[in-house]
Amino acid sequence: MSHSRIGLRFAKLAAEGRAGFIPYVTAGYPTLDHTRDLLAGLAELGSDVIELGIPFSDPMADGPTIQRSSQGALDAGTTVDDVFRVLAELRRTSDVPVVVFSYLNPLYARGVETFVREAVEAGADGILPTDLPLGADPDLEMRLLESPLDFVRLIAPTTYPDRVREIAHSSQGFVYYIARTGVTGARAELRSDLAREAGAVRSVSPVPVAVGFGVSTAEHARAVGAAADAAVVGSALVNRLDEGGVDGALALARELRGALNEVEK
Amino acid sequence: MTATPAATGRFGPYGGRYVPETLIPALDELATAYAEATADPAFLAEADELASNYVGRPTPLYRARRFEAAAGVAPIYLKREDLNHTGAHKINNTVGQALLARRMGKPRIIAETGAGQHGVATATACALFDMECVVYMGTEDVRRQSLNVYRMELLGAEVRPVESGTRTLKDATNEALRDWVTNVAGTHYIIGSVVGPHPFPLIVRDFQAVIGREARRQIIEAEGRLPASVVACVGGGSNAMGMFHAFAGDEEVELIGVEAAGEGLGSGRSSASLSEGRPGVLHGSLSYLLQDADGQIASAHSVAAGLDYPGVGPEHSHLHDSGRARYVSVGDGAAERAFRALPALEGIIPALETAHALAWVEEAGRRGEIEAPVAICLSGRGDKDVVHVSSLGE
């Protein structure tokens, strides 16, 4: 088990027999002030890890909701510096683990070493590049693995079994299992075989397994919490932010947090 | 085959596979199927037969004497890819990839399109092989290229307008990739240029390389020598890569790619990724990109929808850095003038994309900056652009 802040949080969850709650936030959407309030609220209500998304102009793995929030954040003028600044502000009041979620190009444009250093200085614990699959760029992957950040990797339903094991063994902090073949977005139902598939990943993974993509309701959260170590919720929170503002998004987060606490591990 | 990227899919440092994990097995499957197909005489024979009897290959290499007089340099040859079925080089790639998709047992085809030429060529191949076809096209391009939208629909394709981002080729590509991530099991993505994750830049180049193979043989027959200059327009760069590839080992042949300068280099309204961009990751590969300091992709601009793309194929980035090819640029105005000039001089209406290459040769010829013999890839015909150019006025 890793001794990073993320590793310690998962160890604590395991000791308490609870499933983790990992909300995703698009930084700067609809404004940085909303992000500040949302992060503080999510930390306070007991999020185990927060995924802080750097908005990107061409989010090819994302569905309409996160496309909209990313474009909205960029239209509002959000920069990478802004994202690190709100993270540093969160760090004054909270030690909740934070994973920076980004497409590769913002890292590449800044220089990966510089990006990692600034993320660490701002208080990030992990990095999750959406479009850097295992083996795509061994030199860059090695630099991230050796960085102070946990390099969190993704496994998809299409990933073949040998590769599932390989990815899980090279993921730090936790590994993210994508619940369905497709892009991000809230859904009415989860896949019926999700529990079996997530279980298969868990059985070969030396790190905890978080499941996301389409997790939208308390019922989903309970199902995911039973099958995996944590549930990631993104688009559903963004939708709720649009409908009910920060308070609305935090109300949904509290409901999901509560549902995950009900799961017997 | 020269310059084949290794398993990692790199041209120098460029290319690669920067995609969501979901697509990795499909890319592996495609690379394997492609390697098997190209080693299978039956596949190659069928591809050749279709190239001859359906596409209309070989295309002529035509000496353009009145254009030579206007440019002040001779001889100039035009490789007539506009005479292919559907009117552009794009069909060389789509017939090849559709054959490959059929071999892989994928009944559904998706594609992105800018000018609509790739969309039409994909819809055509799908009609031929009785495959379902969905084409993503930005709404800005739907507006500029309405004739091609209707052609695609006639051919039985579904055209899905894309409203996101800049509503052009970049956004249509994002949407096609999202479709592929979602429906990957039964769907093949016929990407339209030498872009995207490995093995696409390799596959598209190989299917387009017939252009340069023919042109090389034809100019040797006509002139008894190799050309001094080989010129093609570059958006993503598929006609240029197809034209350049056969000449890559001929050190005495200068390879010249003409990018779209739009409203001018430095105006912030161009598509000249190699002239004005820097390396970054978009649509699955590392290559030159128009982007801001934070790595956000800049919106490209060109009067030619097929060049209106903020990236470029990774092999072009490598040829740029290595110095093997030279990349220059031509703005909207000069391209529009060349679009109007060639019909009157030669009785050939070129695509606005191709007009960039013609405009550069004419300017360079007048300045004495190009060596003859010149071979230009006349990548497509301009019927699709007539309405749009006439709306721009004189």
Q: Which domains are seen in chain A, by residue range? A: 5-261 (3.20.20.70)
Are A228 and A177 in contact by the 8 Å Cβ rule? The answer is yes
How near does any CA of chain B get to the CA of A68, in Å? Answer: 9
What does the alpha-carbon distance between residue A217 and residue A212 come to, in Å, rounded to a whole number?
Answer: 12
Return the residue of B nearest to A106 by Cα. B295
Mutate to test the interface with A, among B8, B10, B18, B283 (most CBs of A within 10 A): B18
pTM for this structure?
A: 0.96
What does the alpha-carbon distance between residue B241 and residue B5 come to, in Å, rounded to a whole number?
Answer: 14
- Kindly report the average pLDDT of chain B as a whole number: 95
ipTM, interface predicted TM-score of the complex: 0.95
A242 is catalytic: no
pLDDT in tens, A42-55: 999 999 999 999 99
| For residue B2, pLDDT beyond 70 | no
Cis before A30? omega within 30? yes
Chain A residues with CB inside 8 Å of B19's CB? 131, 133, 136
Q: Which of A10, A7, A21 is nearest to A259 (CA)?
A: A21
pLDDT in tens, B239-283: 999 999 999 999 999 999 999 999 999 999 999 999 999 999 999
- Would you state the pLDDT for residue A188? 85
What does the alpha-carbon distance between residue A109 and residue A105 come to, in Å, rounded to a whole number?
Answer: 6
What does the alpha-carbon distance between residue B96 and residue A77 come to, in Å, rounded to a whole number?
Answer: 44
How near does any CA of chain B get to the CA of A64, in Å? Answer: 9
A175 forms beta bridges with A153, A209
What does the alpha-carbon distance between residue B141 and residue A106 come to, in Å, rounded to a whole number?
Answer: 28
| For residue A218, pLDDT beyond 90 | yes
B112 is catalytic: yes
pLDDT in tens, B346-366: 999 999 999 999 999 999 999
| For residue B3, pLDDT beyond 50 | no
A62 is catalytic: yes
What does the alpha-carbon distance between residue B337 and residue B341 come to, in Å, rounded to a whole number?
Answer: 6
% of chain A surpassing 90 pLDDT: 93
A102 forms beta bridges with A129
E strand intervals along B40-169: 61-63, 76-80, 108-113, 132-138, 158-162
Cis before B13? omega within 30? no
What does the alpha-carbon distance between residue A100 and residue A123 come to, in Å, rounded to a whole number?
Answer: 10
Residues with Cβ within 8 Å of B289's Cβ and at least 6 positions away in sequence, in order, are: A105, B273, B277, B278, B279, B280, B281, B282, B297, B310, B311
pLDDT in tens, A106-165: 999 999 999 999 999 999 999 999 999 999 999 999 999 999 999 999 999 999 999 999
Chain B residues with CB inside 8 Å of A119's CB? none
Mutate to test the interface with A, among B187, B281, B283 (most CBs of A within 10 A): B281
